[in-house]
């Protein structure tokens, strides 16, 4: 494998994990830290809870919609170039968000520019990790750090966001993001691309349009579920039709000998497909629960940003502990076992959070459920990523990385859009609204557990041979 390390990663290669992990951390942080700023942003920008929810959802949707094209561009432009460009676009969006005078500018900076920047920089993170770490143990360690930092970023977003918002301002949270990006750019100066760019790789503009439009229509339909069911059915149906056109388009391009946005081969691997499903549900649970619990505590219970953020320390600890143990878990247990165990623990965590609807508990009563949810998600983040990335050879890493991250971010979008819409629509009903939203998350958790049971008991990584897939 070109540019890979076969006798164990060198110190220089290991050092590159730090900025890659930081990049995943800050992007996941951006997806959840605004959850504790709902009241502050609403008052400052003269908007509503639904307006802030829309901003969060659009950010997650832009990531999901453009992650596949972003992964594809790494082949043509190179992984290092895409990573750097994505970081710079993200930084511009963070600065613009920090000075935004209204919701429209915030959506442009946070939802659009940060979303596009993330879509460009995240696929290279996972491609570079896969190319640099070739054996199962070292790759599990690397993915453990990166996925763990992603999970910690999502879980710690409410805490850090709450601290910054309470101590300074919600705007300072975006300044913090921009400063972290500057640090990452400095640390990645010695980063070398393991593979040269392929300028003969051609873009697929219609494939990009079809895939992005289909995802936008589906999520926009879900967002409108609380106000107009007919619009929801119409937009979701239109989105399904556009996505069907996308699959027809990429199949037609392959048959004519042209390069598609995604190879249809990526959808024929049962193990990879099941891994993608588990990734989607993991992030749906993590981001969906973050939004639902945060909104409930602030809007219904009246807690401020710092109080809400501190409560989420439990979820952060859960993700952090399981992520630190990722390498040890990988040595002792099969990948499937870890994913199944993670979902089982997460189901228990969601169940505990759901039980809180029957009385008005102390906010600390949320801690056990959040800890188990965080620990369960942290346990399965690394093996599910490893299963998907390692199911494909070197030549398909750009495409599968983009698809994998798109599916994961789509899960984050669904978590905020579906569970969040249920909560916002019924917010006047107080605890009942929280209960209904948690039921949605509980159903998703059980579905993820069922999917994980169909993963193969024994998994072998695909080698560098292009014919291995």
Domain identity same for 249 and 215:
yes
The vertex-432 CA angle with 429 and 224, nearest 5°, equals: 70
Q: Is residue 200 part of a domain?
A: no
* Phi and psi at residue 342, to the nearest 5°: -60, -45
The pLDDT tens digits of the residues spanning 240-253 come to 999 999 999 999 99
Interval 61-72 mean pLDDT: 79
Integer Cα distance of 408 and 279 in angstroms: 5
Domain identity same for 78 and 175:
yes
Domain identity same for 125 and 249:
no
pLDDT band at 52 (very low <50, low <70, confident <90, very high): confident
Domain identity same for 220 and 339:
no
Most confident of 128-132, 171-175, 192-196: 171-175
Which of 385, 358, 430, 469 has its CA nearest to residue 150?
385
Integer Cα distance of 369 and 361 in angstroms: 13
Domain identity same for 246 and 285:
no
* Phi and psi at residue 5, to the nearest 5°: -115, 120
> In this model, does residue 469 exceed pLDDT 50?
no
Integer Cα distance of 44 and 381 in angstroms: 36
User: Which residues, other chains included, contact 270 with Cβ-Cβ below 8 Å and sequence gap of 6+?
Assistant: none
Domain containing 228 equals 205-260
Domain identity same for 247 and 267:
no
Cα 204 to chain centroid distance, Å, stands at 24
Integer Cα distance of 302 and 406 in angstroms: 34
Q: How many domains does the chain have?
A: 2
pLDDT of residue 398: 67
The pLDDT tens digits of the residues spanning 180-191 come to 999 999 998 888
Cα 296 to chain centroid distance, Å, stands at 22
Q: Is residue 461 part of a domain?
A: no
pLDDT of residue 344: 95
Domain identity same for 279 and 234:
no
Give the residue carrying structure tokens 């193990």. 271
Integer Cα distance of 78 and 409 in angstroms: 22
> In this model, does residue 361 exceed pLDDT 70?
no
Q: Is residue 343 part of a domain?
A: yes
Q: Is residue 339 part of a domain?
A: yes
Percentage of residues in the chain having pLDDT higher than 70: 87
Integer Cα distance of 436 and 355 in angstroms: 11
Percentage of residues in the chain having pLDDT higher than 90: 21
Beta bridge partners of 142: none
Beta bridge partners of 133: 5
* Phi and psi at residue 141, to the nearest 5°: -65, -45
* Direct distance between the N- and C-terminal alpha carbons of the chain, in angstroms, rounded to an integer: 15
Domain identity same for 211 and 337:
no
Domain identity same for 250 and 392:
no
More confident residue, 183 or 152: 183
For 5-69, give the secondary structure using H, E and C: ECCCCCHHHHHCHHHHHHHHHHHHHHHHHHHHHHHHHHHHCCCCHHHHHHHHHHHHHHHHHHHHH
Given a contact cutoff of 8 angstroms between Cβ atoms, the answer to whether 242 and 260 are in contact is no
- Boundary-marking domain end, from 221, 244, 260: 260
Dihedral of alpha carbons 152, 154, 159, 164, sign: positive
Q: Where are the alpha helices (DSSP H) in 99-228?
A: 103-106, 114-132, 136-167, 170-187, 205-223
Interval 13-39 mean pLDDT: 82
**3-state class of 387 per DSSP?**
helix
Let me know how long the chain is.
469
**Does the model's pTM come out above 0.85?**
no
pLDDT of residue 307: 74
User: Which residues, other chains included, contact 129 with Cβ-Cβ below 8 Å and sequence gap of 6+?
Assistant: 17, 20, 139, 142, 143, 146, 389
Which of 410, 414, 403 has its CA nearest to residue 70?
403
pLDDT band at 413 (very low <50, low <70, confident <90, very high): confident
* Phi and psi at residue 133, to the nearest 5°: -120, 110
User: Which residues, other chains included, contact 13 with Cβ-Cβ below 8 Å and sequence gap of 6+?
Assistant: 5, 132, 133
Domain identity same for 143 and 240:
no
**3-state class of 202 per DSSP?**
coil
- Boundary-marking domain end, from 236, 260, 284: 260
pLDDT of residue 467: 37
CATH number at residue 150: 1.20.1250.20
Give me 149's structure tokens. 């930092």
Which of 323, 333, 376 has its CA nearest to residue 352?
376
Q: Is residue 419 part of a domain?
A: yes
Dihedral of alpha carbons 262, 264, 270, 271, sign: negative
The region of weakest confidence among 20-24, 204-208, 355-359 is 355-359
Q: Is residue 318 part of a domain?
A: yes
Integer Cα distance of 386 and 461 in angstroms: 9
Integer Cα distance of 215 and 325 in angstroms: 35
- Boundary-marking domain end, from 215, 236, 260: 260
Average pLDDT, the chain: 81
Q: Is residue 197 part of a domain?
A: no
pLDDT of residue 371: 92
> In this model, does residue 466 exceed pLDDT 50?
no
DSSP conformation letters of 405-462 = HHHHHHHHHHIIIIIHHHHHHTGGGTHHHHHHHHHHHHHHHHHHHHHHTTS-SS----
Q: Is residue 434 part of a domain?
A: yes
The pLDDT tens digits of the residues spanning 55-66 come to 887 887 787 778
Integer Cα distance of 238 and 79 in angstroms: 34
Integer Cα distance of 287 and 429 in angstroms: 22
Domain identity same for 404 and 265:
yes
Domain identity same for 72 and 164:
yes
pLDDT of residue 137: 66
């Amino acid at each position: 494998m070109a540019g890979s390390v076969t006798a164990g990663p060198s110190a220089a290669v290991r050092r590159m994990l730090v900025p890659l992990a930081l990049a995943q951390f800050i992007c996941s942080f951006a997806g959840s830290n605004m959850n504790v700023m709902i009241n502050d942003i609403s008052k400052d920008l003269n908007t509503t809870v639904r307006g802030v929810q829309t901003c969060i959802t659009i950010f997650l949707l832009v990531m999901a919609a453009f992650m596949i094209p972003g992964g594809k561009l790494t082949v043509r432009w190179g992984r290092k170039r895409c990573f750097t460009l994505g970081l710079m676009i993200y930084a511009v969006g963070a600065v613009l968000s920090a000075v935004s005078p209204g919701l429209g500018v915030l959506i442009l900076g946070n939802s659009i520019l940060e979303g596009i920047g993330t879509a460009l920089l995240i696929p290279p993170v996972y491609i570079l990790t896969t190319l640099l770490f070739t054996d199962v143990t070292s790759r599990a360690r690397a993915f453990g750090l990166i996925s763990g930092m992603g999970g910690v970023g999502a879980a710690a977003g409410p805490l850090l966001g709450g601290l910054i918002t309470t101590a300074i301002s919600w705007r300072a949270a975006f300044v913090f993001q921009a400063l972290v990006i500057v640090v990452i750019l400095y640390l990645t100066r010695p980063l070398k691309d393991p593979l040269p760019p392929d300028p003969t790789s051609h873009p697929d503009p219609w494939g990009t349009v079809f895939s992005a439009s289909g995802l936008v229509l589906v999520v926009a339909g879900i967002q409108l579920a609380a106000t107009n069911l007919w619009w929801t059915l119409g937009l979701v149906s239109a989105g399904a039709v556009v996505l069907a056109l996308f699959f027809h388009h990429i199949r037609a391009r392959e048959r004519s000998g042209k390069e598609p946005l995604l190879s249809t081969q990526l959808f024929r691997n049962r193990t990879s497909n099941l891994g993608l499903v588990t990734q989607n549900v993991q992030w749906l649970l993590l981001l969906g629960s973050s939004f639902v619990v945060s909104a409930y505590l602030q809007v219904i219970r009246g807690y401020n940003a710092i109080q809400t953020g501190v409560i989420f320390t439990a979820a952060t600890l859960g993700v952090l502990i399981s992520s630190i143990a990722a390498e040890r878990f990988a040595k002792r247990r099969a990948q499937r076992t870890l994913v199944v165990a993670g979902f089982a623990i997460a189901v228990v965590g969601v169940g505990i959070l759901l039980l809180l609807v029957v009385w008005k508990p102390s906010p600390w009563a949320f801690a056990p459920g959040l800890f188990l949810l965080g620990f369960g998600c942290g346990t399965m983040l690394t093996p599910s990523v490893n299963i998907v990335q390692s199911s494909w050879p070197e030549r398909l890493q750009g495409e599968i990385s983009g698809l994998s991250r798109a599916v994961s971010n789509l899960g984050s979008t669904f978590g905020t859009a579906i569970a969040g819409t249920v909560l916002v629509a019924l917010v006047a009903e107080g605890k009942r609204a929280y209960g209904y939203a948690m039921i949605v998350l509980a159903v998703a958790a059980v579905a993820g557990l069922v999917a994980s049971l169909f993963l193969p008991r024994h998994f072998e990584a695909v080698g560098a041979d292009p014919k291995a897939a």
